[in-house]
Structure 1
Amino acid sequence: MVENKRRHGAWLDDQGQTRFNLWAPDAKRVAVVLQDDQQHEMTGDNGWFSTTLEVAAGTDYRYLINDELQVPDPASRWQASDVHGPSRVADPGQYAWRTDDWQGRPWQETVLYELHVGTLGGYAGVADKLQDLADLGVTAIELMPLGEFPGGRNWGYDGVLPFAPDSSYGTPDDLRALIDRAHELGLMVFIDVVYNHFGPDGNYLGQYASAFFREDVHTPWGAAIDFRRRQVRDFFIDNALMWVQDYRVDGLRLDAVHAIGERDFLIELAERLHGSIPSIRHLHLVLENEHNDAELLQRGFIAQWNDDGHNVLHHLLTGEREGYYADYAEDATQKLARCLREGFIYQGENTRHGTARGSSSGHLPPSSFVLFLQNHDQIGNRAVGERLLALADVDALKSATALLLLSPMIPLLFMGEEWGCEQPFQFFTSHNDELGEAVRKGRQNEFSEFSKFSGQAIPTPNDEQTFKASAPDYAMRTSPAAQSWLAFYRELLALRHQHIVPRLLGSQALESRVLGEAAVAAGWQLGDGQILHIDLNLSDTHVPTDAHDQGHMLFAYRAGEQADRLPPRSIRVVLEGAA
């Protein structure tokens, strides 16, 4: 382990004193204002302002900038009164962990389950559902971003105080109790973190630390964060270290790192995180990256969300070809075969915008790619948030699900998917009225170019009903249809854990080929030398395929009796060399 001293924020010591640190290079004077309105001047040094006070955990405070502006701590660990309220001194050591011996799980055992904490009833509500997920065969939950956001309803990507788990979900120790319970059940916990931008309401950094941003580079969210600066890098590295050390999470999913221009920051982040923990502890760092940068997956990051895989499967299942699906509609079956063989589909080729995207990825193991059929983006960024069950043929969807759960890529499920939840997941916020109206108009404009949504009413993000409509109705989980879906997922995950996971380490893709329109045959040599064959047919016609006479039939759906033919909307999975 290497020393990773954290500086940003308020730190409680063993003597009951708190050290306050704020980087405010544009400020001339800074004071700490406590809950009794007493002001305590801070000492300035090269843009940093610091002081130590006799205050305990639970004390509220703000920073007073130049005797004019009171702001919360940008590194607040607890924000009990929303983004504009005071910060609160937190003691990360007061929680009594029950799972002190937990060291995580190897990556190859991962089955991710993405969820939104707010729609499931806060930290306590999620904890109540963990036993069901463990029984299903899920091994890791992935929480959508938690950093304090304005109001009580948000996806989390509008967060402005990334160190403070949102108070509308519970206290920081409630979050620790959720993580503790997950570890008791053998479940890993991943946090989705947003290091590429701040939300539009509640971020005061530009008023006293304008150097945090660079006006010469802009992102879809405004001025880019300036990762060239040491103080800025350390702000986000401190945040990542907080999740790993103070909350004992097992992994981070880094949102949209293609919007971070300083690639070396990502490499430094990974190095410092891995260096901060004992060698026996498992820590998994996962990227979302439109650049398809394969080298990062050999520089401390274990895997990347495989949007290519999702997009081509979505097109084949639904026929949709507008927007980014246009990049996958031509030669879609060839593209799917390449995805199963090499991971990324785009490895330097031009997209519809005429720009090259991606790098060669065929040398990477299949576990370098997180595959999914649904996630928050792919459902919620649709105009009305329909799930795939409302868009695709059920038999084709079940066959694609079997591919998802039995291929050597790492599978990710989205909450409710496993029981055939038909409720939408829509984009919701609780912004102030002015910002809420701007977001509503922006959503309308975003979908105006899609013929599918022409004339369709777009749910108003700020309407509380939009949030309520997006909360999975767990009462429906007991219906016969839901129980049938659960049995289907449970069977596939049991097969994965019994036959795929023990052989996943050291596996590599073999040749994949097109059997016919929307039909492919793929193969992988697993770590013990056995061969996994998956033949998938998402079309409406029969296609010829190999018999695989020497193998053991691991799973088949609608595959029929003819070993050399594959019926419409079917899949056959064979393990060759199995006893």
Structure 2
Amino acid sequence: MPFRSMETWPHGAIMLDQEHTRFALWAPDAYYVSVELESGQSLPMMPQADGWFVIQARCLPSTRYRFNIDGELEVPDPASRSQASDVHSPSVVVDPQAYAWRNSHWQGRPWHEAVIYELHVGAMGGFAGVEKQLARLADLGVTAIELMPVAQFPGDRNWGYDGVLPYAPESSYGTPEQLKSLIDCAHGYGLMVLLDVVYNHFGPDGNYLGHYAKGFFNEDKHTPWGAAIDFSRPQVRDFFIDNALMWLLEYRFDGLRLDAVHAIEDPTFCRDLARRVREQIDGGRHVWLTLENEHNQACLLEQGFDGQWNDDGHNVLHVLLTGESETYYADFQDRPIEKLARCLSQGFIYQGQTGGKGLPRGEPSAHLPPSAFVLFLQNHDQIGNRAFGERLSQLCPPQALRAATTLLLLCPMIPLFFMGDEWAASEPFLYFTSHHGDLAQAVRAGRRQEFAGLKAFADKQQRARIPDPNAMQTFQASRPRLEQVEDDNAWLLLYRELLTLRRTHLFARLPGSRSLGTQVLAEKALTARWQLGDGSELRIDLNLGEHAVSTALPAPQHRLFCATPDSLCATQLLPYTTLVSLTPPDALEPTHE
């Protein structure tokens, strides 16, 4: 029976029933395409309008297949739902109904309850290894885990941002069913599961699209990773939006974080993705969309997106904690306490001001709620993009880190921390890949050249000390040593106490929060105030400096937590102290307009 003509088909191998599969490939530059099954059977695909090749065939789950292009090149399915092994191996037909969900009635959690734990699946032992940690994380007070990208990448170890098959869970991490089991188990513990997705580029190894679908890219526009993806084409746009919907509907992820959307040239794509997601998700489900966006586009946070990773907040806190001022920290070294004050009261620091590149960056954000900003002291980028992957626990005084952690976990913004932060892990998190040949050499050299502009690495011999991303020991060194963490670890106890306070005293009050402003007290000290949804006032007095600061502190009965409880007094904020106070509405003095 002939297929109806349509502008775009669902990409890839879609099971129609238990015995039949429809294969669809957008290959506008090909003359002939066939499906090559592992049985040796070759199935010629029927050409359709707009560059599509489609066939419906008897094909069972777990069947391995490739596409043959013009009788010259065999390629994996770009929308493969699973790979036999690596990105160059055969694709595998997947039955999306095969997994039996245990927590099928899970509807998610409201965004204001998010306490996000970012992790690398491979470093934690694959999908099954992460699943073993869920009870521990839930007990700690985490409410959401965020997985670094899990789409199939070349080799068996990688950060995930070099993926080339965005529909296929990384085979070295486990099967699609094991990923679903991880998500299902998390829901049983009351944990949301968020996924980092990369829609701004493909990785350098295993991407065959240029051979038969050059229209995926716009050679007139370039990003740091090469030609920009051409989202103006409906076939390309749907390829990525359908991918987002697959993760949310089939795998039941609770949300997505879109990586580096500033590198997506089409300004309408993100808004279209958010609209399509909101249209197709059951209205009773809590599903959250967040962004990484160097452009600080506040408008996207009013058009379907719930939050943005606030790099501004991290950068200024890092400067205050470490004194570092090279590379992108240079934009935050001038009067950093004033910049932190703007962050806590208005969200973005750069809201149109000129940055280090000599160009204005950002949009006004003071009208947005605190929950529109995801705040962190560390994440995979901010640790792993250091030459030796050091964590803050090796870079600043522990008292200062304790004070900053208190701010992170008890302010109204959405807190995020990285695997190992909760016990001040000594293991680094390094940049690692498993490329081979010339690509491995190019990545190794490029990694070391990245740091040539830093004083510490001006000498070529110093740069040679930077770990080789492709070496197995680089990956092994980055794995957190969970088995060595004692139950009475002081940092674990601090995180547990702070997250208990957040859950008990702040969760219910956070909706409707708004800033009441900040006051700079000294070079490294400030006071920040917010009115919470029930009318109560949250106040955080922060001193990241080594000298006491004179100020009038809240009454003792309103004090929720102090990072240095043995040093409280009524008129001085002592060094490396964060005092968090919560004043109920009936105890607040009336204000006069």
What band does the TM-score fall into relative to the shorter chain? over 0.9
Note the aligned Cα RMSD (angstroms): 1.2
Is contact 1:62–1:86 with CA below 8 Å preserved after alignment? yes
AA aligned to 2:215 is A
AA aligned to 2:41 is Q
Q: Per-residue CA shift, 1:490-527, capped at 9, x if unaligned?
A: 00000001111110000001110110001111000000
1:564 pairs, out of 571, 575, 581, with 571
Per the TM alignment, residue 474 of structure 1 is displaced from its structure 2 partner at its CA by 1.1
Per the TM alignment, residue 364 of structure 1 is displaced from its structure 2 partner at its CA by 0.3
Per the TM alignment, residue 105 of structure 1 is displaced from its structure 2 partner at its CA by 0.4
1:460 pairs, out of 468, 476, 479, with 468
2:544 pairs, out of 509, 519, 538, with 538
Is contact 2:18–2:60 with CA below 8 Å preserved after alignment? no
Which ranges in structure 2 are unaligned for 5 or more consecutive residues? 1-7, 588-593
Q: Supply the distance in 1 between the matched residues of 2:472 and 2:437 (Cα, whole angstroms).
A: 13
Q: Supply the distance in 2 between the matched residues of 1:6 and 1:144 (Cα, whole angstroms).
A: 29
Per the TM alignment, residue 576 of structure 1 is displaced from its structure 2 partner at its CA by 1.2
Q: Supply the distance in 2 between the matched residues of 1:561 and 1:55 (Cα, whole angstroms).
A: 71
2:265 pairs with 1:257 = no
Q: Supply the distance in 2 between the matched residues of 1:532 and 1:405 (Cα, whole angstroms).
A: 13
Q: Supply the distance in 1 between the matched residues of 2:483 and 2:179 (Cα, whole angstroms).
A: 25
Task: Please identify, of 345-354 and 552-561, the stretch whose mean Cα deviation from structure 2 is larger.
Answer: 552-561
Per the TM alignment, residue 38 of structure 1 is displaced from its structure 2 partner at its CA by 1.7
AA aligned to 1:572 is L
Which residue number in structure 1 is paired with residue 479 of structure 2?
471
Which residue number in structure 2 is paired with residue 220 of structure 1?
224
Per the TM alignment, residue 274 of structure 1 is displaced from its structure 2 partner at its CA by 1.2
Q: Supply the distance in 1 between the matched residues of 2:500 and 2:227 (Cα, whole angstroms).
A: 47
1:143 pairs, out of 124, 131, 147, with 147
1:200 pairs, out of 199, 204, 210, with 204
Is contact 1:535–1:545 with CA below 8 Å preserved after alignment? no
2:34 pairs with 1:31 = yes
Q: How does 1:406-421 map to 2 (within 5 A)?
A: 406-421=410-425
SS in 2 for 1:169: coil
Q: Per-residue CA shift, 1:299-354, capped at 9, x if unaligned?
A: 11000000000000000000000000000000101000000000000000000110
Q: Supply the distance in 2 between the matched residues of 1:370 and 1:551 (Cα, whole angstroms).
A: 30
2:242 pairs with 1:238 = yes
Per the TM alignment, residue 551 of structure 1 is displaced from its structure 2 partner at its CA by 5.8
Per the TM alignment, residue 254 of structure 1 is displaced from its structure 2 partner at its CA by 0.3
Per the TM alignment, residue 531 of structure 1 is displaced from its structure 2 partner at its CA by 0.5
Which residue number in structure 2 is paired with residue 398 of structure 1?
402
Is contact 1:256–1:289 with CA below 8 Å preserved after alignment? yes
Which residue number in structure 2 is paired with residue 328 of structure 1?
332
Q: Supply the distance in 2 between the matched residues of 1:405 and 1:90 (Cα, whole angstroms).
A: 41
SS in 1 for 2:17: coil
1:490 pairs, out of 496, 506, 512, with 496
2:361 pairs with 1:354 = no
Q: Per-residue CA shift, 1:180-235, capped at 9, x if unaligned?
A: 10000000000100000000000000110001001111000000000111110000
AA aligned to 1:561 is L
Per the TM alignment, residue 6 of structure 1 is displaced from its structure 2 partner at its CA by 6.6
Q: Supply the distance in 2 between the matched residues of 1:318 and 1:134 (Cα, whole angstroms).
A: 31
Per the TM alignment, residue 37 of structure 1 is displaced from its structure 2 partner at its CA by 2.3
Q: Supply the distance in 1 between the matched residues of 2:117 and 2:407 (Cα, whole angstroms).
A: 17
Is contact 1:149–1:161 with CA below 8 Å preserved after alignment? yes
2:273 pairs with 1:269 = yes
AA aligned to 1:27 is A
Is contact 1:82–1:150 with CA below 8 Å preserved after alignment? yes
Is contact 1:551–1:575 with CA below 8 Å preserved after alignment? no
SS in 2 for 1:485: helix
Q: Supply the distance in 2 between the matched residues of 1:453 and 1:362 (Cα, whole angstroms).
A: 39
AA aligned to 1:497 is R
2:94 pairs with 1:90 = yes
Which residue number in structure 2 is paired with residue 518 of structure 1?
524
Which residue number in structure 2 is paired with residue 507 of structure 1?
513
Per the TM alignment, residue 550 of structure 1 is displaced from its structure 2 partner at its CA by 8.1
Q: Per-residue CA shift, 1:13-37, capped at 9, x if unaligned?
A: 1251000000000001100010022
2:137 pairs, out of 122, 133, 137, with 133
1:363 pairs, out of 364, 367, 381, with 367
Q: Supply the distance in 2 between the matched residues of 1:428 and 1:99 (Cα, whole angstroms).
A: 35
Which residue number in structure 2 is paired with residue 191 of structure 1?
195
Q: Supply the distance in 1 between the matched residues of 2:526 and 2:456 (Cα, whole angstroms).
A: 29
2:25 pairs, out of 22, 25, 35, with 22
AA aligned to 2:482 is Y
2:582 pairs with 1:575 = yes
Is contact 1:6–1:238 with CA below 8 Å preserved after alignment? no
AA aligned to 1:477 is V
Q: Supply the distance in 1 between the matched residues of 2:367 and 2:208 (Cα, whole angstroms).
A: 45
SS in 2 for 1:395: helix
2:284 pairs with 1:280 = yes
SS in 1 for 2:274: helix
Q: How does 1:25-104 map to 2 (within 5 A)?
A: 25-45=28-48, 46-104=50-108
State the TM-score, normalized to the length of structure 2: 0.95
SS in 1 for 2:137: helix
2:184 pairs, out of 163, 174, 180, with 180
Q: Per-residue CA shift, 1:134-178, capped at 9, x if unaligned?
A: 000000000000110011010000000000000000100000000
Q: Supply the distance in 1 between the matched residues of 2:103 and 2:427 (Cα, whole angstroms).
A: 35
Q: Per-residue CA shift, 1:429-465, capped at 9, x if unaligned?
A: 0011211110010011100111134425100000000
Q: Per-residue CA shift, 1:369-414, capped at 9, x if unaligned?
A: 0000000000000001001100011000000000000000000010
Q: Supply the distance in 2 between the matched residues of 1:413 and 1:564 (Cα, whole angstroms).
A: 32
Is contact 2:351–2:365 with CA below 8 Å preserved after alignment? yes
State, as a whole percentage, how many aligned pairs show the same letter.
Answer: 59
Q: Supply the distance in 2 between the matched residues of 1:273 and 1:203 (Cα, whole angstroms).
A: 27
Q: Supply the distance in 1 between the matched residues of 2:17 and 2:23 (Cα, whole angstroms).
A: 15
2:561 pairs, out of 552, 555, 577, with 555
Q: Supply the distance in 1 between the matched residues of 2:418 and 2:310 (Cα, whole angstroms).
A: 15
